[in-house]
Structure 1
Amino acid sequence: MDTSKIINLLGEEGEFLLQHTCKTIDKSLIHTPSPSVIDDIWINSDRNIQTLNNLQRLLGNGRLANTGYVSILPVDQDIEHTAGASFAPNPIYFDPENIVKLAIEGGCNAVASTFGILGSVARKYAHKIPFLVKLNHNELLTYPNSYNQIMFGTVKEAWNMGAAAVGATIYFGSGESRRQLIEVSEAFEYAHELGMATVLWCYLRNNEFKKDNVDYHAAADLTGQANHLGVTIKADIVKQKLPENNGGFTAIKFGKIHQKMYTELATEHPIDLCRYQVANNYMGRVGLINSGGESHGASDLKDAVFTAVVNKRAGGMGLISGRKAFQRPMKDGVELLHTIQDVYLDPEITIA
């Protein structure tokens, strides 16, 4: 896809995103994704050789191979949102093999899913596409539901099935977040010891994060701090929702702030808000992948391109998009994934 097609998909928002110059945190301060990211950044860390090997394995697969960017297919919504709600639009994905096939046909760097899904086809596919095994979930059958992530398996189990990486979620802000923080940090330490990369879903969950009919679960200041906690426990990649607003700390009257967070380090522009998230990832040393979000039907292609352009121009590492891809026929899902990847392959779309 050439840039003109991306502009057409973005419509009236094309110039708003593609011509934006970030005047908050200068691009010269950001460690941008590149083909030599392992040598430039990770070689200086304490990650062992096998972990670097698996990071490179993940970065070296799919249509974005050796660009420094990633496109990942995540399918854990069958646990998080119920299998029926997730797969009813396209029942072929009740079969785990079709999930892996979509990731391969879609040119993804990796497929992220549950122990059960990936384990059921591991011998056939673990050497064909990097597996990212999700360690914990918030299963939706406990009533009343709570904001709690529990371990569904062990790091060793993921290693035994040939996984290149493990992933986990922490619900920062929830009553269970400190227990999850300890569990996940210990799991990540062991994963690194065994040589696997680590990916953290740094999500916020607390009913008090909604004030005066405004939802701050995707506020730049709150998500930025969640990211910073994630990189503190050695996530190699952080998954976060694209910022939708800012000023969560001030609205909730919670936490500590400096006014420059809002006056100098961010504006209301989506790229500047995302840049603040990247800054909290050690200025991009740890890659930021933004989530694709739920499927809205006809607008999915535009929404996915919007998110990809914002992420890339902010200094992010890529996109992790699931429902927009698997809740439609496989051919259309492949097209959507390729369209996302085309944004990262386009040399004319650069960091703002």
Structure 2
Amino acid sequence: MNYDQIAELLGADAKKLLEHKSTTIDKSKLHLPGPDFIDRVFYHTNRKPQVLRNLQATFNHGRLGGTGYLSLLPVDQGIEHSAGASFAPNPDYFDPENIVKLAIEGGTNGVASTIGVLAAVSRKYAHKIPFIVKLNHNELLTYPNTYDQIMFGSVEEAYELGAMGVGATIYFGSEDSNRQIQEVAAAFERAHELGMYTVLWCYLRNSEFKRDQDYHTAADLTGQANHIGVTIQADIIKQKLPTNNGGFKAIKFGKTHDKVYSELTSDNPIDLTRYQVANNYMGRAGLINSGGASKGESDLADAVTTAVVNKRAGGTGLISGRKAFQKPMKEGVKLLNAIQDVYLEEQIDIA
């Protein structure tokens, strides 16, 4: 997919997204993705050589290998959203092997999934594509549901099955967030000791975040979640694309500053996403935005739009699951390749 085809998919938003010039946080202040990202940024951290090796191996894998960008396939929805809701549209993906096959055929940098999925095929595939083991989940059989993230496996199990990285979710703002922060911080410390990198799903979860709008995807609130995430040494942050701003003002809780809204952000989604990047220590930890739910015919355009916003904001890539695996494999591969084409297209630059 070339620049013109990407512009066509963006439709009416093409000019707003492709020609936007950011006047909020200048790109010169960001630690931007690139082929030398590990040497330029992570080399100076406390991460062990084994962590750097596994990070570099992941950045070097797939169609985006050597660019400094990431395209990841996440399939933890069998727990997070129930197996029926996730895999009924394409029952082939009840079989873990097809999940890994899609990641390989789709040219991704790696596959992130449950400890059970990856353990089921680890001996066959752990040396063929980077594995990221998702350690905790929100199970949906407890009634009423508690919306809590609990550990399903250990860092040691992830290490033994050949994972290069581990992932976890924290529901920031939830009743159980303090415990989750402590659990995940300890797990990430152990992962780094064993030479694995860490990926944090930085999600918000609190009914009070829904006011006149749903502020679970507000730039200011998600940015703060990111900032806590990098504080516990997440190497990569997974976050939803921001859809609005002013969450702190709406919920009338916590602390913020007027400059967050008057100088550091604008209404353009690229600038809202750049604020997320800024909270990742100005990009020292990569920001990957999530692809979101499958909506059918608009999936390709939606995924490409998210990729353009993430790239021009200074983000590190996209992690897209349901839009890819709830389709026949050939269509899923096409969608993943379209996302990658955005990051390979040199005309799409940092705003």
TM-score by length of 2: 1.00
Q: Distance in 1 between matches of 2:17 and 2:6?
A: 11
Deviation (angstroms), 1:344: 0.3
Aligned length: 351
Q: Which residue of 2 aligns with 1:111?
A: 111
Deviation (angstroms), 1:146: 1.3
Render the CA deviation track for 1:142-164: whole Å, top value 9, x for unaligned. Answer: 11011210000000000000000
Q: Which runs of 5+ in 1 are unaligned?
A: none
Letter in structure 2 aligned against 1:267: S
Q: Distance in 2 between matches of 1:168 and 1:104?
A: 22
Letter in structure 2 aligned against 1:302: A
Q: Distance in 2 between matches of 1:232 and 1:98?
A: 35
Q: Distance in 2 between matches of 1:341 and 1:19?
A: 20
Q: Distance in 2 between matches of 1:217 and 1:11?
A: 27
Task: Say yes or no: does 1:253 pair with 2:236.
Answer: no
Q: Which residue of 1 aligns with 2:226?
A: 227
Letter in structure 2 aligned against 1:115: I
Q: Distance in 2 between matches of 1:124 and 1:340?
A: 27
Render the CA deviation track for 1:7-52: whole Å, top value 9, x for unaligned. Answer: 0111111111000000000111111100001110000000000000
Deviation (angstroms), 1:61: 0.4
Deviation (angstroms), 1:2: 1.1
Q: Which residue of 2 aligns with 1:86?
A: 86
Deviation (angstroms), 1:313: 0.2
Render the CA deviation track for 1:90-144: whole Å, top value 9, x for unaligned. Answer: 0000000000000000000000000110000000000000000000000111110
Render the CA deviation track for 1:300-341: whole Å, top value 9, x for unaligned. Answer: 000000000000000000000000000000000000000000
Q: Which residue of 2 aligns with 1:331?
A: 330
Task: Say yes or no: does 1:161 pair with 2:132.
Answer: no
Q: Which residue of 2 aligns with 1:25?
A: 25
Q: Distance in 2 between matches of 1:157 and 1:66?
A: 29
Q: Which residue of 2 aligns with 1:137?
A: 137
Q: Which residue of 1 aligns with 2:63?
A: 63
Letter in structure 2 aligned against 1:54: N
Q: Distance in 1 between matches of 2:74 and 2:256?
A: 34
* Percent of aligned pairs with the same amino acid: 70
Deviation (angstroms), 1:76: 0.4
Q: Distance in 2 between matches of 1:216 and 1:38?
A: 34
Q: Which residue of 2 aligns with 1:272?
A: 271
Question: Helix, strand or coil: the match of 1:46?
Answer: coil
> Aligned-pair RMSD on alpha carbons?
0.4
Runs of 4+ aligned structure 1 residues displaced above 2 Å come to none
Letter in structure 2 aligned against 1:301: L
Q: Which runs of 5+ in 2 are unaligned?
A: none
Letter in structure 1 aligned against 2:168: A
Q: Distance in 2 between matches of 1:12 and 1:144?
A: 43
Q: Distance in 2 between matches of 1:147 and 1:235?
A: 22
